[in-house]
Amino acid sequence: MNQFFIALCVTAALCSPIAATAQDSGSGTDRQPAFAGTFYPASPRELRADLEDYFARAMPAKLEGRVRTLIVPHAGYDYSGVVAASGYKSIPKDAQYKNIFIIASSHREQFKGASVYAAGDYITPLGEARVNREIARQLIDNEKSITYFPKAHDREHSIEVQIPFIQYHFTKTPAIVPIVMGSSSLSAASDLAAALLPWFTPENLFIISSDFSHYPSYKDAKRIDKLTAEAILTKDPELFYKVLRKNSSEGVKNLATPSCGWSSIMTMLYMADRKEEIEISPVLYRNSGDSPIGDKERVVGYWAIAGYEKPTEPLSCELDAVEKKTLLAISRSTLETYLISGTLAEVSNSGLTGTLRQPAGAFVSLYMGGKLRGCIGNFTPDKPLYMVVQEMTLAAALNDRRFAPVEASELEYISIEVSVLTPLHKIGSIDEFQLGLNGIYMKKGDKSGTFLPQVAQSTGWNTEEFFGHCAKDKAGMGWDGWKEADLYVYEAIVFGEEKIK
């Protein structure tokens, strides 16, 4: 067997598991710590003291964007604690995530697909880490390749050792979703990536638990781990796989694997490769030979590597004629394809400019007989403009509660108008608002509403009427409600098809 495929850090116990069903997952059995006292201290006080020391010595990266994914080691803390702490410290303590998905490749059990812990919560000496069992059950119920296999978690250290870092670092500890991969293969990584992609959003963090080279000399480890990391930084799954195979085939003395968690890393790359806004950056490298108790003849490599969302420049207030025509064509195709066939129209990337790929807010308005037939928009998208236009087209047609859903028989009478928005800018006074140029967005408590700039042109309202109608008719906060609301202005690039009378 090619040694590349020996991806386990310790000898695997092969088995043919009978996976638990979703119905079996509600027993409320918490996963107790299995490696406290070996990989890390069992005493809460000693553990906190060690973590404090690791974070004090950490060398985090300065990342100009929100961290979406993090590769960190899972060795004993004496060896890899500073590297792991450097990765976690690259994320602000007060960063808020809904969930932290922890993905690891199994070290002791081999089974098909992946196992998500669904029976209870994870316990460490620092207390309870809540498992999002609702997500776990969704994955088990909806994905054939994902089960709950208890043995995959009982003696698996690569998930457990991450949790104290999470508990110690974050001001508010998010729920976790612990996933152990039982198959080290490209298909397993691809299947898991497809299943997790709906959750691969800015509100969730993905921790990839993996060490790197196993048992070469100190010098060989540094060389091999550098090549592996450079491949990860390209965000190209195929290149990463080729580099792993090349490193494995060189006959490096004592090299058991270039990366014990390569399938987990591959899962992340399959997801990140679809997100143009994500950039991958190195944080810190060391290996066990750098530890005072390490042996430089046989080492294990440790990387902290972060994937973060690159900040984007606000969309300029300019779209050329071709870009406007492209967005209208996308909107029209989306509307017609969905109403006729129930499917989402595919958009060819080859005809999209950089501007159309930038995240930007947009409203789509539908008119029939010159009158509004539906209008919905999004101010703060995390998707490219062309995708926002697609989504808002369907939302305007189907989800505007003021109107019945648009039907296919109406298509020939529908005209489309697109309003591409500049970022929201908070104002402190109505005097900062420019009627006809600015749209208004107001928010007070759980009530909010907006008027696009063109509303003033079509109604003839003055500024106070514009604000009053928005507060009363759109936000439901009363005519004068805007006076106590947070006020935001924006501009819009408005263009559309010729209205059908």
Claim to verify: residue 285 and residue 427 sit in the same structural domain:
no
Boundary residue ending a domain (309, 343, 376) = 309
Beta pairing partners, 495: 418
Cα torsion through 315, 317, 322, 323, rounded to 10: 30
pLDDT reading at 49 higher than 90: yes
Length of the chain: 501
pLDDT at position 422 is 87
pLDDT band, residue 28 (cuts 50/70/90): low
Claim to verify: residue 40 and residue 168 sit in the same structural domain:
yes
Claim to verify: residue 289 and residue 395 sit in the same structural domain:
no
Residue 471 lies in a domain: yes
Asked if 114 and 146 count as a contact pair (C-beta separation under 8 A), the reply is: yes
pLDDT reading at 501 higher than 70: no
Share of the chain above pLDDT 70, in %: 93
Q: Compute the distance between CA of residue 437 and CA of residue 425 in angstroms, rounded to an integer.
A: 13
pLDDT at position 312 is 57
Q: Compute the distance between CA of residue 413 and CA of residue 435 in angstroms, rounded to an integer.
A: 31
Claim to verify: residue 303 and residue 341 sit in the same structural domain:
no
Asked if 389 and 421 count as a contact pair (C-beta separation under 8 A), the reply is: no
Residue 11 lies in a domain: no
**Average pLDDT, integer, range 15-42:** 66
Query: What is the total count of domains within the chain?
Result: 2
User: 383 — phi, psi (to 5°)?
Assistant: -130, 160
Give me the DSSP letters along 119-143: SS-EEETTEEE-B-HHHHHHHHHH-
Claim to verify: residue 154 and residue 288 sit in the same structural domain:
yes
Mean of per-residue pLDDT scores for the chain: 90
pLDDT reading at 93 higher than 70: yes
Residue 203: helix, strand or coil by DSSP?
A: coil
Asked if 113 and 183 count as a contact pair (C-beta separation under 8 A), the reply is: yes
**Which CATH number characterizes residue 69's domain?**
3.40.830.10
Claim to verify: residue 302 and residue 220 sit in the same structural domain:
yes
Of 19 and 280, the structure prediction assigns the larger pLDDT to 280
**Which CATH number characterizes residue 351's domain?**
3.30.700.20
Q: Could you tell me which residues come within 8 angstroms of residue 49 by beta carbon, excluding any fewer than 6 positions away? A: none
Residue 120: helix, strand or coil by DSSP?
A: coil
pLDDT band, residue 277 (cuts 50/70/90): confident
Residue 362: helix, strand or coil by DSSP?
A: strand
The string of pLDDT tens digits covering residues 340-378 is 999 999 898 777 998 898 888 999 999 998 899 999 998
Taking alpha carbons only, the member of 129, 125, 148, 152 closest to residue 42 is 125
Q: Where are the alpha helices (DSSP H) in 197-320?
A: 218-233, 237-249, 262-272
Boundary residue ending a domain (309, 335, 351) = 309
pLDDT at position 27 is 45
pLDDT at position 12 is 32
pLDDT at position 3 is 39
Claim to verify: residue 171 and residue 191 sit in the same structural domain:
yes
Residue 361: helix, strand or coil by DSSP?
A: strand
pLDDT reading at 67 higher than 60: yes
Claim to verify: residue 228 and residue 350 sit in the same structural domain:
no
Claim to verify: residue 256 and residue 333 sit in the same structural domain:
no
Beta pairing partners, 67: 308
pLDDT band, residue 314 (cuts 50/70/90): low
Beta pairing partners, 366: 374, 416
Structural domain for 182, as ranges: 27-309
Residue 256 lies in a domain: yes
Query: Phi-psi region for residue 4, left (φ > 0), alpha (ψ -120 to 50) or beta?
Result: alpha
pLDDT band, residue 316 (cuts 50/70/90): low
Query: For 4-8, 144-148, 232-236, 458-462, which range has the lowest pLDDT when averaged over its residues?
Result: 4-8
pLDDT at position 13 is 30
Asked if 393 and 373 count as a contact pair (C-beta separation under 8 A), the reply is: no
Claim to verify: residue 284 and residue 396 sit in the same structural domain:
no
- Cα-trace Rg, the chain: 27
pLDDT reading at 494 higher than 70: yes
pLDDT at position 427 is 87
Claim to verify: residue 267 and residue 353 sit in the same structural domain:
no
Query: For 59-63, 221-225, 311-315, which range has the lowest pLDDT when averaged over its residues?
Result: 311-315
Boundary residue ending a domain (246, 277, 309) = 309
Claim to verify: residue 287 and residue 327 sit in the same structural domain:
no
Residue 186 lies in a domain: yes
Taking alpha carbons only, the member of 363, 359, 396, 397 closest to residue 378 is 363
pLDDT band, residue 58 (cuts 50/70/90): very high
Joined together, the tokens standing for residue 34 give 């299995």
